[in-house]
Amino acid sequence: MEQPAVATADPAGPDAAGQPSVLRLINQAHRRLEGLLFRPRDCDAPGGLPGAVLDVARQLSDAAARDPDISLACILLNQQEGTYAVRHCIDTAIVACLVGRALQKGPHEVLTMMAAALTMNIGMLQQQEQLQSRLSAISRDELAIIHQHPQRSADMLRDAGVDDAEWLSYVLMHHENEDGSGYPSGVAGAAIPLPAKVISLADRYCARVSTRSYRKSLLPNEALSDILLADQRSVDPMLTACFIRVLGVYPIGAVVGLASGELAVVSGRGRSSTEPIVQAIVDADGRPLARPVRRDTAQPAFSVREMLSEDQAGVRVKMQFIWGDAAAP
């Protein structure tokens, strides 16, 4: 069910307050990063590849500061933008940014962590795109490439001029696990830098909620449960608690069914983790609303009954319909 159009200002320009669209900033960052990651040797920007990646990280950091809700919603509602491999790095960097800020990390450390998230898979981008478009099982050779990609990515970045030891270490260890079961080196616990652990959790979550050709995405609450239960021995419990505080039990951008029979989109945090701010988009009779209607999920009549995928709900959510010009494409 397509959402009805909503009259807005010119989507090519800034919003009414003169601010650029947060969604557009993120999509521009995606296009810039795609050129950098797939053609790193062609980068002629001042500061080379490291400087150009840091510029992309700053743009995403600015977008997340302007509107963290829209930035998080992009992970669920902007999955058609560009290539999966690059979009996944963008999504991971946004989550890492917001978790890093929640942990009260300084701007430099957060920016370095974002740069590492943006470049964590540079050593296997081509293979990642090929895996995304196929249905057969992963071969032994492909599994070896996956296990080697943190080291290969760090080596490629070093060759491209990245000399920040922290950036390189976060890339190298973003698949290491708390219990030593990760790769490429099997280090554990305190030997893994905290930012690498943050990237790892963000990577797991964003991968689980993304649609792939070979599997359906998990609902956000299912993805969080999967991390907490299936991965509980391999992740830092302190970080998972912070992660859930940042994302919420009902992550922003999720489609939910209300006790009223309406369908709504989570648009912000409420008074508690189980009472998010939502915007109703379909009424109880299944008719699309001309404009979103804010509902208080703390009221029993509008409490969240279930979380749904867009396919299950039969809707395609246009971000501008929910957030206005700040989410113009």
136-150 pLDDT per residue, tens: 677 788 788 889 999
What is the predicted pLDDT for the residue at 135?
A: 60
Greatest Cα pair distance, the chain, in angstroms, is 59
- Mean pLDDT of all residues in 108-133: 89
Comparing 7 with 172, the larger pLDDT belongs to 172
Q: What CA–CA distance (Å, rounded) separates 120 from 124?
A: 9
Contacts of 51 (CB under 8 A, 6+ apart): 45
CB 50 within 8 A of CB 111: no
CB 197 within 8 A of CB 243: no
- Mean pLDDT of all residues in 153-174: 97
Comparing 127 with 175, the larger pLDDT belongs to 175
Confidence of residue 215 (pLDDT cuts 50, 70, 90): low
Closest CA to 89 of 69, 60, 67, 50: 60
In terms of average pLDDT, the best of 16-20, 156-160, 270-274 is 156-160
Q: φ, ψ for residue 295 (rounded to 5)?
A: -125, 140
Q: Is the pLDDT of residue 228 over 80?
A: no
Confidence of residue 178 (pLDDT cuts 50, 70, 90): very high
Confidence of residue 244 (pLDDT cuts 50, 70, 90): confident
- Domains of the chain from N-terminus onward: 22-247 (1.10.3210.10), 255-327 (no CATH)
Q: What CA–CA distance (Å, rounded) separates 248 from 242?
A: 10
What does the block give as tokens for 107? 């701007």
User: In which order are the strands placed within the sheet that holds 304-308?
Assistant: 288-296, 277-282, 263-268, 255-258, 304-308
Closest CA to 189 of 233, 149, 241: 233
What is the predicted pLDDT for the residue at 213?
A: 55
Q: What CA–CA distance (Å, rounded) separates 45 from 159?
A: 16
SS3 194: helix
Q: Using alpha carbons, list the distances in angstroms from residue 224 to 94, 221, 235, 317.
A: 17, 5, 12, 22
Report percent pLDDT > 90 for the chain: 70
- The mean pLDDT of the chain is 89
Q: What CA–CA distance (Å, rounded) separates 33 from 117?
A: 12
312-322 pLDDT per residue, tens: 999 999 999 99
Report percent pLDDT > 70 for the chain: 90
21-80 pLDDT per residue, tens: 999 999 999 999 999 999 888 888 889 999 999 999 999 999 999 999 999 999 999 998
Q: What CA–CA distance (Å, rounded) separates 240 from 20?
A: 33
SS3 119: helix
